[in-house]
Amino acid sequence: MGGKITCEICNRTFKDKDGYEQHKTAKHSERLENINSSAPKLDFNFKKLRNLLIIILVVGAIIWLFSITLKGSNACKTDSVTEINIGSHQNLALHTHADLEIIINGVSKEIPTNIGIGPGFMRPIHTHDNSGEIHMEGPCIRDFKLGEFFLVWGKRFDSSCILDSCIQNGAIEMMVNGKENKEFDNYIMKYQDEISIKFTSDKT
């Protein structure tokens, strides 16, 4: 025979478990419900967690794209012209032109078509024909020196040489918009500049 059971709420004693359970249900059911309802709930909301993770991923992607864009913008202003590929004429912040002629001992030298353009790339300084028109284009505003065009072309130009002609055998003169200019390769090209580089040999 089982021992007596005491109610932990009101201290009444019952001779068996069945009597105790009936008493607890009849007298203390409301109090027990209040106790259970006040207990901390440990329900885990997976939907809220999923939404939080999505928000974190979206914010992270936005920050990453912003950093890539900022890096690209800075690279456009600082990278060598031989490392920049503008790809096409779309979304350009800069699009300007200058005209260049090179005269060696009275003979005009052809400036080739598609300097700075090749399969899959287009440099920010390039030509589209052999007229001598230099195109300066890019996704950011920056200055381009005349020497950078020759760097893209793969030819030499500075205060000592133009192409294969050097001052050991003659003299170089550069004119910009009809005025003599001594900046040579360091000259910053401007919109609609007319640049003329002449070499005259000592033997002529």
What is the three-class DSSP state of 200?
strand
Burial class (CB in 10 A: 0-12, 13-18, 19+), 30: exposed
- SS3 state at 64: helix
In contact, 126 and 112? CB cutoff 8 Å:
no
**Straight-line distance from the first to the last Cα atom of the chain, in angstroms, rounded to the nearest whole number:** 135
Higher-confidence residue of 162 and 3: namely 162
Instruction: Check residue 43 and give its pLDDT.
Output: 55
Please give the pLDDT value at position 165: 96
Domain 94-201: assigned CATH number: 2.170.130.30
Residue appearing with tokens 């979304």: 91
161 to 80, 102, 184, 198, 202: CA distances (angstroms): 22, 12, 10, 11, 14
Contacts 24+ apart (CB under 8 A), 53-59: none
| Neighbouring-strand partners of residue 176 | 179, 195
Instruction: Decide which of 200 and 64 is more confident.
Output: 200
CA-to-CA separations, 122 to 39, 118, 196, in angstroms, rounded: 69, 7, 25
Q: pLDDT higher for 69 or 129?
A: 129
Average pLDDT, the chain: 85
Tell me the pLDDT tens digit for each residue of 52-62. Answer: 888 888 888 88
Calculate mean pLDDT across residues 40-46.
60
Q: In angstroms, rounded to a whole number, what is the distance separating the alpha carbons of residues 200 and 12? A: 124
What's the pLDDT tens digit per position in 110-168? 999 999 999 999 999 999 999 999 999 988 899 999 999 999 999 999 999 999 999 99
What pLDDT score was predicted for residue 33?
59
Cα 195 to Cα 181: distance, rounded to the nearest angstrom: 9
What is d(CA 126, CA 67) in angstroms, rounded to the nearest whole number? 29
* Domain boundaries of the chain, sorted by first residue: 5-38, 94-201
Confidence at residue 204, expressed as pLDDT on a 0 to 100 scale? 58
Query: How buried is residue 13: exposed, middle or buried, by Cβ count under 10 Å (0-12/13-18/19+)?
Result: exposed
70 pLDDT above the threshold of 50: no
